[in-house]
């Protein structure tokens, strides 16, 4: 038996909204109209369009650039309907409006959309043209139908929907008061089918999260619709059972309802509990039951990632485990205490939850042919006894003691040099997105690494929805007030050294020999350096070094040597080199800060080469190498005098360390200043003057800068 231990690596780089915009890797979008509640409802990769719904507006955006010619439809509820809504006592929170809640593809040229309609749900079609270049985006004139069973009345009650083969499957609240929740199937020329009405064993005050068609076998008739929700526990108010439970439910797509019992009701409806919990050092189990969102890995449906908010955790579930639970025992309330127990009686044929015409029921054409015994059993036993546990029986990501919650999740699969990795993008209620990768540390240990956290909105707001385009390498994030398009990577922020790029362990980035840049798997250049699994620069970055820079200081003044490691996990120290020797400790006054060191009261003994070394994972590398040159104070004062050209002045210096009276510089000197300087000093002064003139904005030729090459492997040996 292997015990899995998870090690948390703290947050990597973080960028504020202004810093993110400075990278040119983000584009904010919002309408100038009076609207709110932006939701990304559909992403069309073929047309390159992103479809937004908000309060009384529909928007089509270009996925390459969301600010490029957005197409906008104004779709308000009628004034009469708004007034009727207010007459019922609604409208105190602005809900007497048409909040767009669903946009689904109907065919190549049209979309189907629904909104709350000021507490009277409405639906219609949108003409979007054959291709994006048509710039067509308008409502079909004269068509409007009821949205009951398709969209909730209350904009604050979430609904989910999926349009499959002309049939609309939706998790909604069907009535004005919001007391009749249901999983509905409408449209498609078939009789509407729903969950049993007012039966808390089926649905008990649910909050719908996600809906997804998932094949169960090669047989099309076995296809099922899985939906995720949280609901009030039937045992709430007593014992140790949580008041809210996360659930996964499913129905057969072609379920027609029963013949005598469960007429126009699902005969295949089953549900199971999803558990996401962690056991602390004290042995107490903490459960995360506030399920917020799920994301299905489109390429590999064996794994399903769900996110739960209570305590902030991410759990991953195997579809095989979910199917095994649905094929397992049913729950049954029994005994004088009316407790949930395993049903041990006879299971009727066909087994409840089996689809007609499927692998196990080839001779049954429709659910109306199910036996009364099977239908009645299903009606009374919709809950499975065993819960679904996450892989390794613990969360993949856990956040405790933080002042935020996760609100949205998308997953990307990234091909790196050494393997394929799953990267999670986690939106929070404080308006940030965390980019997280989970790496195998050893066979029994996983290491969570937060690559970065970015603030995606100019004004702090909770993340509502997110969509990801792996093809375009873009993330789209919405809030109450707008939307931001964000690139999946900002490789340049990791630093200008190969070691910084390698230590970042970002699968989107690699060192190309010159800089940290976006990695493309198709690139065959051997200079692409990347090590996501181990983050080992010693193996990847031999021959790449930090360039030496020259910095000037003046006797008696202070100077600041800048050095900031890109990784917050690294420890930084400074080494001083003079006369071929390095010293770890220096007998002089200096102030160390996270951005560098401040040297006070400079003297000629401070001149030398300063190395800024960062250590992470037992790897040492030079972040910065600064050659400090100390200039004579008297000469600098003479050189920077605004009254005459110092290089032609004949006034001798007033002595080392002496002070100049500016008036004295106006008197005719007797000796050229250059006669008192050696050739190396003249060269140094010339470099300083060039730097000084550039700061003043004067047009002088820039001096040629020299740099010394020194491999990082040599540095680590020397350190």
Model confidence at 201, pLDDT cuts 50, 70, 90, reads very high
What does the block give as tokens for 29? 């979008």
Model confidence at 194, pLDDT cuts 50, 70, 90, reads very high
Predicted local distance difference test score (pLDDT) of residue 616: 72
Contacts of 358 (CB under 8 A, 6+ apart): 217, 219, 221, 222, 252
Burial group, residue 674, by CB count within 10 angstroms (0-12, 13-18, 19+): middle
Start-to-end Cα distance in the chain = 43
The three-class DSSP label of residue 341 is strand
Q: What mean pLDDT is predicted for residues 397-404? A: 88
Model confidence at 297, pLDDT cuts 50, 70, 90, reads low
Predicted local distance difference test score (pLDDT) of residue 466: 96
**Exposed e or buried b per residue across 26-56, where buried means at least 16 C-beta atoms within 10 angstroms of its C-beta:** bbbbbbeeebbbbbbbbbbeebbbbbbbbbb
Determine which helix (DSSP H) or strand (DSSP E) holds 296, and give its type and residue range.
Answer: strand 291-296
Pick from 295-309, 469-483, 592-606, 701-715 the range whose average pLDDT is largest.
Answer: 469-483
Peptide bond into 404 cis (omega under 30): no
Dist CA 501 CA 535 (whole Å): 9
Q: What mean pLDDT is predicted for residues 215-219? A: 86
Predicted local distance difference test score (pLDDT) of residue 512: 86
Residue 378 above 70 pLDDT? yes
574 has which bridge partners? 612
Pick from 213-217, 377-381, 639-643, 696-700 the range whose average pLDDT is largest.
Answer: 377-381
Predicted local distance difference test score (pLDDT) of residue 91: 87
Do the Cβ atoms of 672 and 650 come closer than 8 Å? yes
Residue 563 or residue 671, greater confidence: 563
Q: State pLDDT tens for residues 409-450.
A: 999 999 888 888 889 999 999 999 999 998 877 665 667 889
Q: What is the DSSP letter of 537?
A: H
Model confidence at 582, pLDDT cuts 50, 70, 90, reads low
Residue 576 above 60 pLDDT? yes
Predicted local distance difference test score (pLDDT) of residue 100: 98
What does the block give as tokens for 163? 């349009």
> Domains of the chain by range and CATH?
195-333+347-402 (2.130.10.10), 491-540 (3.30.1680.10), 548-639 (2.60.40.10)
φ/ψ (deg, to 5) at 183: -100, 115
Predicted local distance difference test score (pLDDT) of residue 78: 96
Cβ neighbours around 546 below 10 Å, total: 24
Predicted local distance difference test score (pLDDT) of residue 714: 38
Provide the percentage of residues in the chain whose pLDDT is more than 90: 48
Tokens 């196990």 -> residue: 360
φ/ψ (deg, to 5) at 83: -65, -40
Do the Cβ atoms of 63 and 472 come closer than 8 Å? yes
- Mean residue pLDDT of the chain comes to 83
Q: State pTM to two decimals.
A: 0.76
Residue 712 above 60 pLDDT? no
User: Would you state the torsion angle of the CA atoms of residues 155, 159, 163, 168, taken in this order, to the nearest 10 degrees?
Assistant: -90
Predicted local distance difference test score (pLDDT) of residue 677: 52
Pick from 226-230, 399-403, 659-663 the range whose average pLDDT is largest.
Answer: 226-230
What does the block give as tokens for 236? 């709430």
DSSP string, 18-60: HHHHHTT-EEEE--SSS----EEEEEETTTTEEEEEEBTEEEE
Residue 445 or residue 136, greater confidence: 136
Dist CA 57 CA 97 (whole Å): 11
Considering only 388-402, 425-439, 657-671, which range has the smallest mean pLDDT?
657-671
Residue 703 or residue 105, greater confidence: 105
Contacts of 157 (CB under 8 A, 6+ apart): 173, 178
Taken in order 188, 190, 195, 197, is the CA torsion positive or negative? positive
Which of these, 301, 275, 306, 281, lies nearest to 388 by C-alpha position?
275
Predicted local distance difference test score (pLDDT) of residue 318: 87
β-pair type (608-616, 619-631): antiparallel
Beta strands in 378-480 (DSSP E): 397-398, 406-415, 420-428, 432-442, 445-455, 465-469, 474-478
41 has which bridge partners? none
Which of these, 287, 486, 249, 274, lies nearest to 389 by C-alpha position?
274
Dist CA 31 CA 358 (whole Å): 49
Dist CA 365 CA 358 (whole Å): 9
Dist CA 358 CA 217 (whole Å): 9
Dist CA 56 CA 98 (whole Å): 5
Dist CA 329 CA 352 (whole Å): 11
Dist CA 694 CA 687 (whole Å): 11
Instruction: Return the ∠ at Cα 491 (arms to 487 and 497), rounded to 5°.
Output: 175
Considering only 28-37, 380-389, 588-597, which range has the smallest mean pLDDT?
588-597
Q: What mean pLDDT is predicted for residues 305-329? A: 82
Model confidence at 649, pLDDT cuts 50, 70, 90, reads very low
Starting at the edge strand found earlier in the chain, the sheet holding 39-44 runs 39-44, 49-54, 57-62, 71-74
User: Would you state the torsion angle of the CA atoms of residues 13, 18, 22, 24, taken in this order, to the nearest 10 degrees?
Assistant: 90
Model confidence at 90, pLDDT cuts 50, 70, 90, reads very high
Residue 520 above 90 pLDDT? no
How many residues does this entry show for the chain? 719
Model confidence at 502, pLDDT cuts 50, 70, 90, reads confident
Determine which helix (DSSP H) or strand (DSSP E) holds 378, and give its type and residue range.
Answer: helix 372-380
Contacts of 649 (CB under 8 A, 6+ apart): 638, 665, 669, 672, 673
Which of these, 324, 332, 333, 382, lies nearest to 353 by C-alpha position?
382
392 has which bridge partners? none
Secondary structure, 3-state, 149-214: CCCCCCCCCCCEEEEECCEEEEEEECCCCCCCEEEEEECCCCCCEECCCCCCCCCCCCEEEEEEEE
């Amino acid at each position: 038996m292997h015990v899995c231990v998870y090690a948390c690596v703290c947050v990597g780089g973080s960028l504020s909204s202004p810093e993110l915009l400075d990278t040119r890797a983000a584009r904010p979008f919002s309408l100038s109209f009076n609207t709110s509640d932006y939701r990304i409802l559909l992403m069309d990769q073929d047309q390159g369009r992103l479809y937004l719904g908000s309060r009384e507006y529909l928007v089509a955006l270009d996925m390459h650039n969301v600010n490029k010619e957005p197409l906008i439809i104004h779709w308000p509820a009628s004034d009469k309907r708004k007034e009727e809504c207010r007459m019922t006592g609604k409208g105190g929170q602005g809900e007497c409006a048409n909040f767009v809640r669903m946009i689904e593809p109907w065919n190549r040229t049209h979309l189907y959309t629904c909104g709350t309609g000021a507490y009277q749900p409405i639906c219609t079609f949108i003409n979007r043209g054959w291709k994006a270049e048509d710039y067509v985006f308008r409502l079909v004139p004269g068509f409007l139908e009821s949205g009951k069973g398709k969209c909730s009345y209350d904009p604050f009650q979430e609904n989910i929907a999926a349009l499959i083969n002309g049939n609309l499957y939706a998790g909604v609240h069907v009535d004005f008061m919001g007391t009749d929740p249901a999983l509905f199937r409408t449209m498609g020329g078939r009789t509407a089918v729903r969950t049993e009405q007012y039966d808390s064993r089926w649905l008990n005050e649910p909050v719908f999260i996600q809906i997804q068609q998932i094949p169960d076998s090669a047989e099309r008739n076995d296809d099922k619709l899985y939906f995720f929700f949280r609901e009030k526990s039937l045992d709430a108010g007593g014992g140790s059972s949580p008041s809210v439970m996360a659930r996964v439910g499913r129905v057969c797509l072609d379920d027609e309802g029963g013949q005598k019992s469960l007429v126009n009701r699902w005969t295949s409806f089953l549900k199971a509990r999803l558990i996401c919990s962690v056991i602390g050092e004290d042995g107490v189990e903490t459960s995360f039951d506030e399920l917020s969102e799920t994301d299905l890995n489109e390429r590999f449906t064996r794994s399903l990632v769900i996110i739960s908010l209570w305590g902030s955790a991410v759990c991953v579930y195997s579809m095989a485990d979910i199917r095994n639970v649905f094929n397992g025992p049913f729950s049954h309330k029994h005994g004088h205490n009316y407790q949930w127990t395993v049903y041990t009686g006879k299971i009727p044929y066909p087994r409840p939850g089996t689809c007609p015409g499927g692998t196990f029921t080839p001779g049954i054409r429709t659910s109306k042919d199910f036996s009364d015994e099977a239908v009645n059993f299903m009606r009374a036993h919709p809950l499975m006894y065993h819960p679904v546990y996450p892989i390794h029986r613990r969360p993949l990501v856990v956040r405790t003691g933080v002042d935020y919650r996760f609100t949205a999740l998308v997953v990307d699969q990234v091909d790196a040099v050494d393997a394929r990795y799953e990267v999670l993008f986690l939106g929070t209620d404080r308006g940030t997105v965390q980019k997280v990768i989970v790496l195998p540390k050893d066979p029994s240990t996983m290491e969570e690494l937060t690559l970065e956290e970015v603030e995606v909105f100019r004004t702090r707001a909770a993340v509502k929805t997110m969509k990801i385009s792996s093809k375009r390498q873009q993330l789209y994030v919405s809030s109450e007030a707008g939307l931001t398009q964000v690139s999946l990577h900002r490789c340049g922020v990791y630093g200008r050294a190969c070691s910084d790029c390698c230590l970042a362990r970002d699968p989107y980035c690699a060192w190309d020999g010159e800089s940290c840049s976006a990695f493309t798997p198709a690139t065959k250049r051997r200079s692409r350096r990347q090590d996501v699994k181990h983050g080992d620069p010693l193996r990847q970055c031999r021959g790449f070094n930090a360039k030496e820079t020259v910095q000037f200081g003046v006797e008696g003044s202070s100077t600041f040597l800048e050095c900031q490691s890109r990784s917050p996990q690294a420890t930084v120290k400074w080494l001083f080199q003079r006369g071929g020797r390095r010293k770890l400790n220096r007998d002089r006054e200096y102030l160390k800060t996270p951005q560098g060191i401040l040297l006070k009261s400079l003297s000629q003994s401070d001149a030398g080469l300063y190395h800024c070394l960062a250590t992470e994972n037992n790897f040492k590398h030079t972040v910065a190498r600064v050659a400090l040159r100390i200039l004579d104070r008297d000469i600098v004062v003479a050189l920077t005098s605004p009254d005459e050209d110092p290089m032609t002045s004949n006034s001798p210096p007033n002595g080392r360390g002496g002070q100049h009276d500016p008036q004295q510089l106006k008197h005719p000197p007797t000796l050229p200043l250059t006669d008192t300087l050696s050739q190396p000093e003249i060269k140094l002064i010339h470099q300083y003057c060039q730097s000084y003139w550039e700061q003043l904005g004067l047009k002088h030729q820039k001096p040629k800068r020299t740099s010394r090459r020194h491999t990082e492997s040599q540095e680590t040996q020397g350190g």
